[in-house]
Structure 1
Amino acid sequence: MTVDYTEPRFVAPICTVQDVAEIVGMPVETVKTWAGQRRSRRQMFSRTPQGHRGWPSVPLVGLVEANTLRTLRDMLAPSEVEAAALWIRNKYDAPYALANRRLVTDGAYAYVQENPSELYRVKTNQHAFVEVLEAHLQPLIFEHDDYPVAYEVRIPGVVIDPRFNAGRMTFERNRVPVFAVLGSLQGGDSVDEVMQQYGLTLQEVAAVDEHREWAAKAA
Structure 2
Amino acid sequence: MKQLIVIPCYNTHIYINNLISDIYKNTSTDILVIDDGSSPKISFEKDKLTNLKIIRNDINKGKGHALKKGFLYAKENNYTHVITLDGDLQHDPYEINKFILEDKGIDFLIGYRELRRPMPLSRIISNTITSKIISLILNKNIRDSQCGYRRYRLKKIDFNSNSSNGYIFESEILLKSVNKLSVLKNIPIKVIYDGSPSHINKFTDTIKFIKLILKHIIA
Structure of higher RCO (CA pairs closer than 8 Å, 6+ residues apart):
2
Q: Which structure has the bigger radius of gyration?
A: 1
Q: Which structure dedicates a bigger proportion of its chain to helix?
A: 1
TM over 0.5: no
Q: Which structure dedicates a bigger proportion of its chain to strand?
A: 2
Provide the TM-score with structure 1 as the length reference: 0.28
